[in-house]
């Protein structure tokens, strides 16, 4: 998952970095580092991000944003 994909997920959810961190159970600093391309999410967080990405895509397909 690219930094831009993480940003896209967060913005589609209307969340701040802290808000996304709370949803997936990590820190705001981790989200900041992922979005800046300075680190990659650990597998447990990658799985949660992929699930959110799928959910966001389904919402967009259904016309719900």
Sorted by sequence, the CB contacts under 8 Å of residue 53 that are 6+ apart come out as: 1, 5, 9
Q: Quick check: pTM over 0.95?
A: no
Rg (CA), the chain: 11
User: What is the per-residue pLDDT across 3-44, written as a single tens digit (0 to 9) for each?
Assistant: 999 999 999 999 999 999 999 999 999 999 999 999 999 999
Among left, alpha and beta (phi > 0; psi -120 to 50; other), residue 2 is beta
Q: Give the residue extent of every domain in the chain.
A: 3-60
Q: Quick one: CATH architecture of 3-60? A: Orthogonal Bundle (1.10)
Asked if 48 and 25 count as a contact pair (C-beta separation under 8 A), the reply is yes
């Amino acid at each position: 998952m690219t930094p831009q994909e993480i940003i896209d997920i967060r913005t589609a959810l209307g969340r701040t970095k802290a808000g996304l961190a709370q949803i997936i159970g990590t820190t705001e600093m981790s989200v900041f580092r992922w979005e800046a391309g300075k680190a990659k999410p650990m597998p447990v967080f990658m799985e949660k991000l992929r699930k959110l990405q799928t959910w966001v895509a389904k919402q967009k397909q259904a016309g719900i944003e």
